[in-house]
Amino acid sequence: MSFSDLRAARQSKNARAFAAQSQAQQVNASPSPKQDKTESQEPSADAETLLDLYDLPDALTIRVVPREGRGIWSKHFIKRGSVILSVKPHTSVLSTPNLASYCSHCFEAASEAGLKRCARCRIVHYCTSGCQTADWTIHKRECAALQDWATHAPSAEVSVPSDAVRCLGRLLWAQQTEGPGSPCSKQVAAMQSNRKSLQPSAFEFHANLSHFLVRYLGISSPDGLQEFGIASSSDLVDLTSRFATNSYTVTTPDLTPVGACVSPVVALINHSCSPNAVVVFPRTSRVPLTEEPNMIVVALRDIQPDEQVLTSYIDTTLPRSMRRRELLDAYSFSCQCTLCTASSVVDPREALWCPKSCGGNCPLPTEENSLSQCARCKTAVKDTDAVLDAVRVGQQGLDKANSLQTKDPAKAVQLTTNLMPILISAKLTPSSHPLLGLSRLHQTLLISAFSASPTQDVLDEAIRTATRNTTGLSMILDEGHPVRGVALAEAGKLLAVDELEAKKPSAMPFERQDAFPPTGPPRLKLAYETLQRAREELLIGFSRAMEGGQVGREVRDALAALEKEMDVWKGGLRNAVNDLPRGS
C-alpha cells in the first residue's frame, strides 16, 4: 500500500522519533533478503498451542513442519467446491474511496435509497440503523479518532487515514475492549511476524505505518502505547508486520477489492502459486447480514487426507519472476512452490504461439536468454528482439494505463487498444503477460464506457475482449477458479445484452469484426452456453453450499431470463412457419 498521500499530514515529534527508532531496529535486526519465511528467527508456537487457540472444523488440523512452518492440513477427504472454513474476520475496514458507497459494518453496497452517514464523523456510512448500532462498540473510538485526524489534516486529500491505519486502529481497540486474555488478543499475538526478515524496501512502509498509527490513536509519546500491550518499538513493528503479512483484501462478490481485513485463523494457511483452495467473500442469503463480510475458504481441487491446504497470496496470472519478487517484497520469502520451481514446461503466462502454427508453444525470450523454440516441433523464434521490445512496451503501457484508468479512462482505453495488437502480432498467447493484463483492463474500461454511452461498437469490442480473457484465463487457472467463473459470467452477460437498434457511431478506435460476435439467435445461444459454463464454475469457486455466491445467483437468474427469451423466439418461429400458405 502507498502512504504517499499521508506524508503531508502534520507530524508529532514524539511519534516521528518513535517511528524512526522502529526503522533503525528493523535495519539492525534484518537478515539477508534471501531468508525464507519459514526460517524466521522469532519463536513459533507449537501445533497443540495453536489448536487450543482456534475452533477448527473436524476436517482440519494445524501442523508445524520444519522449513514449511505452521499451516492447516486436512484430516479427511475434502471435495472440490466444498467450504473448508467460514469465518467473520476479527476486523475489517473499507478502503477510503469506498467509505461513502458501502456499509462500514456489513460491506453491503449502497442501494437506491442510499446509506446513513454517521452524524459525528460524517465519514463512515451504514446501510441500516441495525448495522450502525452493531458497529458502535468500536466505531465510538474510531469516530473520535477520525474527527481528530480530519481536524488536523492539512488538506482534503489526507482527511481520512489509509485503510491499513484504520484497520490496525480497530484491531487494537477491539483487543483493548476484550482484554489481553481474550481469544482475539491471543490469536493476533500468535500470528506470524516477519520483522526480523523484512526487506529493505519495506522499511519506509513500516516506519510510515507505525508513525501514522501512533498519531491516529491519539498517542503523544511511546509510553501511551502500553495500554494497547505495546511496550517497545519492536512490539510496534511486530504488530505492523503481522498486519502486512497476514491481512487480506476484502472483495465484492465479483472480486472487486473494497477494503482490508484480518483473520488469524485464515492467516494460518500457507501460500502456493498453484493453490488447492481460494479465499472469497461470496455474500449469500444463507449468512445473516450481521455476519458479513463473510470470509470463506473453498477447495478448488479435491484435497486428500494429510494434504496441506494452500491458497495464493498474490495474483497467480503473473509470470514467475514477478510473483517471486512480489512475495519476497511483501512477505519476505522466496517461493518454492511447484509452479515456481518447474523448469521443463513452457509456462503459458510467458508463452508465444509456434512460428509454424503447429499448435505448440514457445517460451518468451528474455534478456538473459534470447533463444526460444517451440516445445513441440522445435522451430526457433527468429526475431526475438522484436518480441522483447513488444513485451517491454506492453508492460510500460499496462503500468501507465493502470495509473490512468480512474483519472483519464479515455486515454487508458486508447493505450490498451493500441498496445494489444502489437503483442498479438508478436504472437503472444492470450494467457501471456502483459497481454492478459492489458486485455482484462481493456474489458473493464469498455464496460464502464458502454455504461456511460452505449454503442454497438463498444459492446462488440467488449465481448471480443471478454472472450480473449476467458480463453487466456482457462489456460492458466484451474477449472472452477473464481476468477475464471466471474470472467465467464461477465462474458455471458455482455452477450445477453440486447443489440442496439440505433447504432450510434463510436468515438473509440475499434475496427468492426462482423464475424464475431454473432448476431440474433446465435448470439443468444452463445450467451446461454457461456452463462451455463459460468454457473458450473461459480458453484466450485464460490461453493455449491453458498449457491455460487451472489454472482452465481445472478447468473442463475440470467439463465432463466434467457430461456424465456429463447422460448419466445422459438414460439414466434413456429407460428411464422404455421402461418405460411400451404404448399410454400
> Quick check: is 440 in a domain?
yes
Residues 252 and 185 reside in one and the same domain: yes
What is the rounded distance in angstroms from the CA atom of residue 49 to the CA atom of residue 127?
Answer: 40
- Which of 286, 311, 336 is the endpoint of a domain? 311
- Specify the pLDDT at position 290: 81
- CATH code for the domain of 254: 2.170.270.10
> Quick check: is 394 in a domain?
yes
- Specify the pLDDT at position 31: 28
Residues 357 and 415 reside in one and the same domain: yes
Residues 355 and 267 reside in one and the same domain: no
> Quick check: is 215 in a domain?
yes
> Quick check: is 334 in a domain?
no
Phi/psi of residue 143, nearest 5 degrees: -60, -45
Residues 264 and 185 reside in one and the same domain: yes
- Specify the pLDDT at position 547: 94
Q: Is 241 exposed, middle or buried (0-12, 13-18, 19+ CB in 10 A)?
A: buried
Count of alpha carbons within 13 Å of 266, Cβ hemisphere only?
31
Domain count, the chain: 2
Residues 255 and 157 reside in one and the same domain: yes
Residues 302 and 377 reside in one and the same domain: no
> Quick check: is 140 in a domain?
yes
- Decide: pTM greater than 0.85: yes
Residues 272 and 396 reside in one and the same domain: no
What is the rounded distance in angstroms from the CA atom of residue 20 to the CA atom of residue 12?
Answer: 12
> Quick check: is 329 in a domain?
no
pLDDT along the chain (584 residues), means of 10: 31 31 33 34 66 91 87 97 96 96 96 94 95 95 95 77 96 91 89 81 86 92 84 89 94 97 96 97 88 96 97 96 92 90 88 95 91 94 95 97 95 97 97 98 96 93 97 97 98 90 51 71 94 98 96 96 83 58 57
What is the rounded distance in angstroms from the CA atom of residue 389 to the CA atom of residue 367?
Answer: 10
Q: Which of 107, 109, 129 is nearest to 119 (CA)?
A: 129
> Quick check: is 499 in a domain?
yes
Residues 194 and 256 reside in one and the same domain: yes
**What is the extent of the structural domain holding 272?**
4-311
> Quick check: is 337 in a domain?
no
Residues with Cβ within 8 Å of residue 314, at least 6 apart in sequence:
271, 273, 323, 326, 327, 330
DSSP letter at 428 equals: B
Identity of the residue numbered 486: V
- Specify the pLDDT at position 21: 34
Count of alpha carbons within 13 Å of 412, Cβ hemisphere only?
24
- Specify the pLDDT at position 583: 54
DSSP string covering 44-79, please?
Answer: ---HHHHHHH----TTEEEEEETTTEEEEEESS-B-
Residues 191 and 290 reside in one and the same domain: yes
